[in-house]
Structure 1
């Protein structure tokens, strides 16, 4: 035993010397750690999105017997098959949701928005898998619904599992879930910048670098992963569009107003359809089957209503669809989307919204071109701008919409009318109605927040548990503690648990090359009592001021009356919590419960 202990101890010293070298030479910070986790979350999110995409293709092949695109495959089917496939798919999705309740045993169906806004960042895995499986049947059978919703949810689940596995704090896990959401959007649309701004602008309510930086890293990692493992390319390959003359600015402004007027009615139609289907009181499988039946009836004559509308948008942007036929497709697609969404089919309406905008823009451009050719030289350019304008008006996120349209098409010359039209559409829609594509869901989830904390919050809401050493602990015990924690400071207490000081990683540097210190040095010899402390009742603002005077990344939380060490406050957690509060105020005053628990 006498020979084994020194060998173990020498190994401890070697590991500590390596850690000290990393700290001194590379100077890793908590933010760099956050970026590393964000990159991993991006890769995991991309893998989850790719698996979901392959699942949709498998369901589609089983139901239709063909691996062609959604619209093309429905064109090859007989009329009764066009009717049956969406109905069967809707029923199957409903059965998955119904019997899936037994699998997750009443587990909450928390989605990524709820986990970011009001939760601790934990997303139920089984409930999410059940809902995503149901979405495969809805989408794969031709439902007029987007696939981006489940892809984002699965990516967020992967990020949440990563954060919980690494035992990160609640603010860090929430940020990691947001990174998962950004990676899901980036994977769905091959648009990393838009994926970052989607989460920052719509959900977090802030584009501060503390949150936007990790979101961008995650989205880029996801995009690179998708491009490596699949044949991902620019989503909408379109001809080069340009602003042909200044006279076109006038019609573009009018298009912005029209998009702003149409967006609220499009959203209202979805909510009306939802209330109408709910009023039927049908069981979930029958309600989803009814939604699929509506889509199937429309598909008998207009197969373009099936799917999320991507192929139809591509046809519009490339001038492959006559305006007379587009009017019929436009009306039928709107009804089909309302039926799919209203019936409760799992999925998203992001891509169907892009279709409505493209159809509106193209029809408007054709009308202007017929009356005044110089005002709309190329109606397809109006389709492209209409996509961004309606998305900006529906989501109330014009910056995200502008960036997304640019990334999906890489058409730089159209950026000026796109920016102008999107901003006009956004303000027009806001003037009519404050609700957006996601506002009702966000408000509903925020209203369900248990015991919301009022700004500025207290340290008790954020403090973490901490493991300290006692005054009489030997150097070997101190070394083990440093290898068990990610931080550069550990705290010292008396045997009664009262705070006695702090030991920094740099304080033990002189003893790392002398093996005899194990029996000679104790915590009492190394501790310092010059580090500031904070009480559990202190406000976050007071804690921030203490950090401004302290170079470390943690502060000991000490009870003012008893002097006992109750936990530790991490600077990164504090900054993220303040950032969340600022974003909540911008979203309308809903504050997250800042609990680490």
Structure 2
């Protein structure tokens, strides 16, 4: 099954601890038996589970539990690829609901610690050690070399869209097959086994089995350079990954995306060198740009992809072409398929999942900026006003109850005033809009009374009120910025 890591929570933030055991065993069996998948997907979910369990053992608000889950997932990515900065960006781009000093600190600590431990156990070398890349000075040399990465990004965007559609098409086809989960999975993995065996017979190497890092390295160092064979590897890796994940195996999509991006990039670079041998850009540059573009376009994590490829190769000199290629690939994929490879599963279940970062404008808005002062504060038993609005009934200086009066829309000509008792919550004028929404949810209230001393609930300290009207007006104004 495709590992869904989007924790921008729709069904809660609790993941059962048994997930760690099941995911570990299932992923080890899937990858160890030759499944064409990556190891990062399970470690993301395992890391998120650790965060969820910790957030359950220690009582905390939901938002803090989400931060712990994102920190665990980002730490898993960082340790897997020896990419601490990439792990932080992964959590920021895909998992965190909002970015704050608290969330950045916790995610950074988790990724640094996990990377440090990973380097002790696995070494400090980058994932792919490639020779010095032939990269021109794009700020000095003719721009034609840089421009080539724009059409290549478009190609990667098409490939990324194909990858997303193909995986879910395979899942649907396997789900529609007769039999049970076990027979369908046996069929899928049996087909992958036949493909691996045929590769070994006719080429002398398995190539498409497992995570495929050795094949990627062969592409980067130039051992594999025949464009037709590289396209064959791209196509069969796509098929093998669809068979593996579609039939129900547990694994990630990062590694297959890296594999396909490397083969596609090397093919494009080879063709460019055939047409313009003096272009001055090494073929591995196209391969690495393709790897970043495939990850960025399929997952939606553009900056994560770019930074991770720098960390995984140890070469920071190809920022401009990689950025251009990845951004153009992502833009085209978003146009062709609004959902990413992670969010499409949730979309198909009826959930709307946001993709992309936005400023926390609502968190920055203060209640005193949006509240209305049109409120009547009256002692209990006083005569009701003739105008619509909120009435606060008081007794002995304390709020007794709140009432909302309005005109029935069915009889506007009669100006019939109707009173309705509503539940209320208190909040201070310097609180944020998010705090107000939290207070409404906590008290199951309908309106928020704004008071200089919200804890005392004194009626003479009330300075305003926030109702659904003010909330809707604020959201409407905020929508113009998106």
Return the TM-score normalized by structure 1. 0.57
SS in 2 for 1:186: helix
CA offset at residue 373 of structure 1? 1.0
- 1:280-326 Cα distance to aligned partner (Å, 9 max, x none): 13311111111111111111122111002211111111111132432
**Residues 213 and 228 of structure 1, relative CA distance in 2, 3 Å threshold:** same
Does residue 432 (structure 1) correspond to residue 336 (structure 2)? The answer is: yes
Does residue 271 (structure 1) correspond to residue 168 (structure 2)? The answer is: yes
CA offset at residue 442 of structure 1? 4.3
SS in 2 for 1:344: coil
Does residue 319 (structure 1) correspond to residue 212 (structure 2)? The answer is: no
CA distance in 2, matches of 1:357, 1:448: 29
Query: Which residue of structure 1 lines up, in the alignment, with residue 193 of structure 2?
Result: 296
Query: Which residue of structure 2 lines up, in the alignment, with residue 359 of structure 1?
Result: 263
Alpha-carbon contact 1:366-1:376 (below 8 Å) kept: no
**Residues 542 and 279 of structure 1, relative CA distance in 2, 3 Å threshold:** farther
Alpha-carbon contact 2:42-2:250 (below 8 Å) kept: yes
**Residues 565 and 540 of structure 1, relative CA distance in 2, 3 Å threshold:** closer
- 1:478-532 Cα distance to aligned partner (Å, 9 max, x none): xxxxxxxxxxxxxxxxxxxx9xxxxxxxxxxxxxxxxxxxxxxxxxxxxxxxxxx
CA offset at residue 418 of structure 1? 0.8
**Residues 222 and 119 of structure 1, relative CA distance in 2, 3 Å threshold:** farther
CA distance in 1, matches of 2:352, 2:157: 30
Alpha-carbon contact 1:197-1:207 (below 8 Å) kept: no
- Of residues 435-444 and 422-431 in structure 1, the stretch that sits farther from structure 2 once superposed is 435-444
CA distance in 2, matches of 1:389, 1:202: 16
Unaligned runs of 5+ in 2: 200-205, 354-361, 364-397, 399-422, 436-441, 458-474
**Residues 386 and 206 of structure 1, relative CA distance in 2, 3 Å threshold:** farther
Query: Which residue of structure 1 lines up, in the alignment, with residue 6 of structure 2?
Result: 113
Query: Which residue of structure 1 lines up, in the alignment, with residue 91 of structure 2?
Result: 199
Matches within 5 A, 1:131-210: 131-204=23-96, 206-210=98-102
Alpha-carbon contact 1:195-1:219 (below 8 Å) kept: yes
Query: Which residue of structure 2 lines up, in the alignment, with residue 49 of structure 1?
Result: none
Alpha-carbon contact 1:357-1:387 (below 8 Å) kept: yes
CA distance in 2, matches of 1:126, 1:159: 14
Query: Which residue of structure 2 lines up, in the alignment, with residue 280 of structure 1?
Result: 177
SS in 1 for 2:6: helix
Match of 2:431 among 541, 544, 549: 544
Match of 1:217 among 100, 103, 109: 109
CA distance in 2, matches of 1:380, 1:541: 58
CA offset at residue 182 of structure 1? 0.7
SS in 2 for 1:375: coil
- 1:363-416 Cα distance to aligned partner (Å, 9 max, x none): 000011011112364211110111111222112221111111111112111111
Q: Which runs of 4+ in 1 moved over 6 A?
A: 563-566
**Residues 110 and 541 of structure 1, relative CA distance in 2, 3 Å threshold:** farther
**Residues 541 and 214 of structure 1, relative CA distance in 2, 3 Å threshold:** farther
CA offset at residue 437 of structure 1? 1.6
- 1:541-565 Cα distance to aligned partner (Å, 9 max, x none): 85726999xxxxxxx99x999x999
Does residue 403 (structure 1) correspond to residue 307 (structure 2)? The answer is: yes
CA distance in 1, matches of 2:108, 2:455: 41
Alpha-carbon contact 2:37-2:210 (below 8 Å) kept: yes
Greater share of strand: 2
Return the TM-score normalized by structure 2. 0.69
Does residue 310 (structure 1) correspond to residue 189 (structure 2)? The answer is: no
Query: Which residue of structure 2 lines up, in the alignment, with residue 474 of structure 1?
Result: none
The CA RMSD measured in Å over matched residues stands at 3.6
CA distance in 2, matches of 1:181, 1:398: 17
Count of matched residue positions in the alignment of Structure 1 and Structure 2: 373
Alpha-carbon contact 1:201-1:207 (below 8 Å) kept: no
Does residue 260 (structure 1) correspond to residue 139 (structure 2)? The answer is: no
Match of 1:251 among 111, 132, 148: 148
**Residues 545 and 257 of structure 1, relative CA distance in 2, 3 Å threshold:** closer
Match of 2:118 among 216, 226, 244: 226
Query: Which residue of structure 2 lines up, in the alignment, with residue 21 of structure 1?
Result: none
CA offset at residue 540 of structure 1? 7.5
CA distance in 1, matches of 2:100, 2:61: 20
**Residues 281 and 377 of structure 1, relative CA distance in 2, 3 Å threshold:** same
SS in 1 for 2:15: coil
SS in 2 for 1:113: coil
**Residues 119 and 139 of structure 1, relative CA distance in 2, 3 Å threshold:** same
**Residues 208 and 421 of structure 1, relative CA distance in 2, 3 Å threshold:** farther
CA offset at residue 208 of structure 1? 4.5
Alpha-carbon contact 1:112-1:178 (below 8 Å) kept: no
CA offset at residue 232 of structure 1? 4.7
Query: Which residue of structure 2 lines up, in the alignment, with residue 523 of structure 1?
Result: none
Alpha-carbon contact 2:146-2:321 (below 8 Å) kept: yes
Alpha-carbon contact 2:346-2:352 (below 8 Å) kept: no
CA distance in 2, matches of 1:168, 1:185: 25
Unaligned runs of 5+ in 1: 1-96, 98-108, 450-454, 457-497, 499-535, 549-555, 567-581, 590-597
Alpha-carbon contact 2:3-2:42 (below 8 Å) kept: no
CA distance in 2, matches of 1:143, 1:149: 13
CA offset at residue 254 of structure 1? 1.8
**Residues 283 and 394 of structure 1, relative CA distance in 2, 3 Å threshold:** same
